[in-house]
């Protein structure tokens, strides 16, 4: 049996024979020779755990000769440079247990001291990249740390050397199910890649329908596997993501194959979810004789959108900074495991959680699932939005699909079904299925304004049951503090968090990694009307100008690099003078502004005035329509007065289409619209990043 040889530079020589049932005895190929180079271990080793100085409470050591750990082929190698540490932890030392890095921090009782022994190892370069024994999901060449933590009663006055002997003797390595029977209090090791099943569990479509799809996937990042003895028979196995670390997600949606349209049932399921008459729409699609290429493109877009939405949903759950829950947690009673449960636990220790986390009619014997990311996923409301641009023109979903195109938005996963002209204008050059986000934001904003006018006018015949949404979204490969601050300005402008709460979220963080931001507000018919009419009267251009200026004031805050833009937003006199002089004479007002600053001021003025004039123009028409309906509650659609008003509304809308400013697609446009009826619209903001993840909702409230 291999032994652990410990020495220091001052002559200490200590030999420890591992317990036959320990991980070192099972997996250590030959003697492990440890050298403490920077500390007099003989001196500190005779101190009780109470007396070891705090500044010496973590002692690093090296390994003189590389040692292989594993069975058969080499899995792990210890050696080369700093190869491990011994730590003494007392009450108040929780930070040393990486409290801020992983959830559910290990607590140190006031009457105990913990001794942690950690070994740094490298996954063999010859090892397979797949999960497997003693690789814990790591790819070849990765570095991991195996740490055992053992508690000692402070009243026992155990010396550091004696505690080290006991901890090393019982050192556990979770290579197999039997290793969980160790009497060790706890062992930990990080995990790089975890395979898991994901079931979409009725992902809700905005119309209230659902898509029941199965999915599987994996995520890769910095993780910790932790096993803790709950009692003599039970071990708790948990997986914790390292907070603030980057990670990758890969989801594969599993569609059914029993389909009369296409190779899978994705198209049928989507129609059932969003169509008021799915059978008629399915019949119309069959009659249209869609070609295989078109069917494949539609199915691919739907699948890509669902996969991206699931990835974002899981990323949100994994990134939640305020949770201390494990990503996965299972209580395991070794004695009660049957063959299937034993295999599931074994695979979990290898880094594959697909078996142990899978849903079953009957639970695995001896395995009790705790709260996991899948639990939170089911409890949280997550929606796949299906945006039907042009539905008022085509009426049926099937006709829009046949004569249009199905795309998905890569940063959100939301689906877009639209006419071919719109699809061509927003389609990304890099993908036949994806929409370009900058172009799509503007189209969404324009459509939100036009749709609100249609719904508010009651001119649309047989509108679908989908609620109208104004959407804005962004994605950043790298996100610094300033960018995240601007993202958080949006929920603040919607009244979903305070300035102090925003500052607390930003405190101490400079790099948020990759991030996505998604914002939406929703309007029903009644609220859409109130966007244009107040007590039956058209809102004025001045009201819309005030709403636009308020949005600018909320999103550009004191201390921002561009806070010079706040002047026209907060000072009525400045705004009135800008209107009097016109934008070509703004230099008379802003004499000290640079050319770039002046251009920004002109841009703000132009978009606010364009939007206010467009809204006021449509509001005037809606007031006429409202008076017409009051006098003629059930008009004949062919009535000359009715058609004249409809044409007048169409003319007002035409003045919007094609003239929409790109800035209206930014969060400013969404906030400006929201300010008109604030806070009546339902609102949602989702921000995800490696360091910060939050989901805010506003149910909306009606003014008295």
CA distances to 546, 548, 575, 576, 583 from 586, rounded to whole Å, are 20, 19, 11, 12, 5
C-alpha span between 405 and 301 (Å, rounded):
10
- Residue 22's pLDDT is what? 81
Give the Cα separation of 447 and 79 in Å (integer). 62
Is residue 517 within 8 Å of 686, Cβ to Cβ? yes
Alpha-carbon span 574 to 552, nearest angstrom: 14
Q: Name 388's Cβ contacts closer than 8 Å, sequence gap at least 6.
A: 274, 397, 400, 417, 418, 464, 466
Question: Tokens standing for 555?
Answer: 């999103």
Contact 19, 25 (CB under 8 A): yes
Whole-number Å distance between alpha carbons of 550 and 374:
41
Please name every residue paired with 469 in a beta bridge, in sequence order, or none if there are none.
522
62 alpha-carbon distance from chain centroid: 40
Cα angle value 600/602/605 (rounded, 5°):
110
**Pairwise CA distance, residues 335 & 489, whole Å:** 54
Is there a contact between 13 and 5 (Cβ–Cβ < 8 Å)?
A: yes
How far is residue 466 CA from its own chain's centroid? 25
Alpha carbons within 13 angstroms on the beta-carbon side of residue 360 total: 15
Cα Rg for the chain, rounded, in angstroms? 32
> Does residue 610 contact residue 589 with C-beta atoms inside 8 Å?
no
Q: Residue 20, Cβ neighbours under 10 Å: how many?
A: 8
- Please report the pLDDT score of residue 79 as a whole number: 65
What 8-state DSSP symbol labels residue 200? -
Structure tokens at 319: 């990134």
Contact 262, 297 (CB under 8 A): no
User: Could you give the CA distance from residue 204 to residue 199 in angstroms, rounded to a whole number?
Assistant: 13
Q: Rounded distance, CA 393 to CA 408, Å?
A: 21
Tokens of 195: 């395979």
Closest CA to 266 of 303, 293, 319, 320: 303
Task: Give me the residues paired with residue 409 across strands.
Answer: 435
In this predicted structure, what is the pLDDT of residue 192?
26
Contact at 8 Å (CB) between 132 and 81? no
First to last CA, the chain: 81
- Residue 398: count of CB within 10 angstroms of its CB: 23
* pLDDT averaged over 10-residue windows placed end to end, the chain, 704 residues: 80 84 79 77 84 71 76 60 76 53 65 84 56 52 77 89 89 71 36 30 39 65 76 82 68 59 68 74 76 81 82 72 65 92 86 79 89 65 72 70 81 80 63 64 77 74 59 88 96 97 93 89 88 95 98 97 97 97 96 96 95 94 91 85 86 76 85 96 90 88 56
Q: Report the side by side order of strands in the sheet with 682-689.
A: 468-480, 511-523, 682-689, 693-698
Query: Which DSSP helix (H) or strand (E) runs through 471?
Result: strand 468-480
Q: Among candidates 104, 121, 7, which has minimal Cα distance to 69?
A: 121
For 110, phi and psi rounded to 5 degrees? -70, -20
Q: Enter the tokens of residue 42.
A: 């003989």
- Which contacts (CB < 8 Å, 24+ apart) does range 8-13 have? 8/35, 8/36, 8/37, 8/39, 8/40, 8/41, 8/42, 9/35, 9/36, 9/37, 10/40, 10/41, 10/42, 10/43, 11/42, 12/36, 12/41, 12/42, 12/45
Q: How far apart are CA 133 and CA 541, in angstroms?
A: 70
Edge-to-edge strand list for the sheet holding 210-211: 210-211, 203-205, 383-384
The answer for residues whose C-beta is within 8 angstroms of residue 118's C-beta and 6 or more apart is 84, 85, 86, 87, 145, 146, 147, 148
3-state secondary structure of 150: strand
Cα–Cα distance for residue pair 603/340, rounded to 1 Å: 65
Helical pair 278-288 and 266-274, crossing angle rounded to 10 deg? 140
How much is the pLDDT for 186?
A: 32
Instruction: Tell me what pLDDT residue 601 has.
Output: 97
Q: Which uninterrupted H or E stretch holds 204?
A: strand 203-205
Q: Give me the pLDDT at residue 260, please.
A: 55
The CA angle 84-147-60, to the nearest 5 degrees, is 20
* pTM for this predicted structure: 0.65
The answer to whether 349 touches 177, Cβ cutoff 8 Å, is yes
Cα–chain center distance at 37: 44
Q: pLDDT value at position 145?
A: 76
How crowded is the C-beta side of 262, counted as CA atoms within 13 Å? Answer: 22
Handedness of CA 677, 679, 684, 687 (dihedral sign): positive
pLDDT on residue 196:
34
């Amino acid at each position: 049996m291999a032994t652990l040889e410990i020495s220091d530079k001052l002559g200490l020589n200590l030999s420890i024979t591992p317990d036959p049932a320990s991980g070192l005895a099972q997996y250590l190929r030959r003697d492990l020779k440890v050298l403490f180079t920077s500390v007099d271990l003989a001196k500190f080793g005779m101190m009780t755990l109470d007396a070891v100085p705090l500044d010496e409470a973590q002692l690093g050591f090296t390994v003189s000769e590389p040692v292989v750990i594993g069975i058969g082929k080499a899995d792990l190698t210890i050696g080369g440079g700093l190869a491990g540490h011994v730590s003494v932890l007392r009450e108040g030392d929780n930070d040393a247990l990486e409290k801020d890095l992983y959830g559910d921090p290990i607590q140190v009782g006031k009457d105990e001291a913990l001794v942690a022994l950690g070994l740094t190892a490298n996954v063999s370069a010859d090892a397979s990249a797949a999960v497997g024994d003693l690789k814990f999901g790591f790819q070849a060449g990765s570095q991991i740390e195996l740490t055992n933590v053992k508690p000692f009663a402070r009243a026992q006055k155990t010396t550091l050397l004696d505690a080290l002997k006991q901890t090393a003797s019982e050192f556990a390595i979770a290579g197999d199910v039997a290793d969980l029977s160790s009497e060790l209090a706890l062992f930990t090791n990080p995990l790089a890649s975890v395979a898991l099943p994901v079931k979409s569990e009725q992902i809700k479509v905005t119309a209230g329908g659902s898509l029941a799809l199965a999915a599987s996937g994996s995520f890769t990042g910095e993780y910790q596997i932790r096993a803790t003895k709950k009692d003599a028979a039970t071990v708790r196995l948990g997986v914790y993501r390292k907070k603030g670390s980057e990670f990758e997600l890969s989801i594969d949606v599993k569609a059914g194959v029993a389909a009369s349209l296409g190779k899978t049932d994705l198209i049928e399921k989507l129609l059932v979810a969003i169509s008021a008459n799915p059978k008629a729409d399915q019949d119309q699609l069959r009659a249209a004789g869609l070609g295989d290429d078109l069917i494949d493109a539609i199915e691919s877009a739907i699948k890509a959108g669902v996969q991206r939405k699931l990835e974002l949903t899981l990323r949100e759950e994994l990134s939640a900074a305020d949770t201390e829950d494990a990503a996965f947690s299972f209580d395991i009673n070794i004695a009660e495991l049957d063959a299937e449960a034993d295999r599931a636990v074994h695979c979990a220790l290898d880094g594959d959680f697909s078996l142990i986390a899978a849903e079953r009619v009957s639970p695995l014997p001896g395995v009790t699932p705790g709260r996991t990311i899948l639990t939170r996923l089911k409890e949280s409301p997550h929606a796949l939005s299906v945006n039907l641009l042009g539905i008022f023109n085509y009426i049926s979903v099937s006709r829009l699909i046949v004569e249009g195109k199905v795309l998905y938005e890569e940063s959100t996963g939301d689906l877009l079904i639209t006419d071919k002209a719109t699809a061509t204008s927003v389609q990304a050059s890099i993908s036949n299925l994806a929409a370009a986000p900058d172009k799509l934001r503007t189209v969404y904003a324009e459509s939100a304004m036009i749709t609100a006018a249609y719904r508010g006018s009651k001119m649309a015949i047989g509108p679908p049951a989908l609620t109208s949404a104004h959407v804005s979204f962004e994605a950043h490969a790298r996100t610094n503090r300033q960018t995240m601050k601007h993202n958080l300005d949006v929920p603040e402008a919607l009244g979903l968090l305070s300035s102090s709460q925003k500052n607390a979220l930003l405190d101490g963080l400079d790099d948020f990694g990759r991030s996505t931001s998604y914002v939406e507000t929703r309007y029903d018919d009644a609220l859409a009307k109130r966007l244009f009419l107040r007590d039956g009267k058209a809102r004025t251009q001045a009201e819309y100008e005030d709403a636009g200026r308020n949005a600018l004031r909320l999103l550009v805050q004191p201390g921002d690099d561009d806070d010079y833009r706040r002047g026209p937003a907060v000072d009525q006199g400045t705004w009135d003078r800008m209107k009097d002089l016109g934008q070509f004479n703004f230099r008379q007002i802003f004499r000290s502004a640079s050319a770039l600053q002046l251009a920004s001021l002109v841009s703000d003025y132009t978009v606010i005035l364009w939007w206010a004039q467009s809204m006021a123009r449509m509001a005037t028409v809606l007031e006429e329509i409202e008076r017409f309906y009051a006098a003629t509650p059930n008009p004949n659609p062919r009535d000359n007065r009715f058609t004249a008003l409809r044409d007048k509304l169409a003319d007002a809308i035409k003045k919007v289409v094609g003239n929409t400013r790109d800035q209206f697609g930014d969060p400013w446009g969404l906030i400006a619209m929201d300010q008109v009826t604030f806070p009546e619209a339902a609102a949602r903001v989702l921000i995800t990043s490696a360091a910060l993840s939050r989901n805010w909702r506003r149910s909306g409230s009606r003014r008295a």
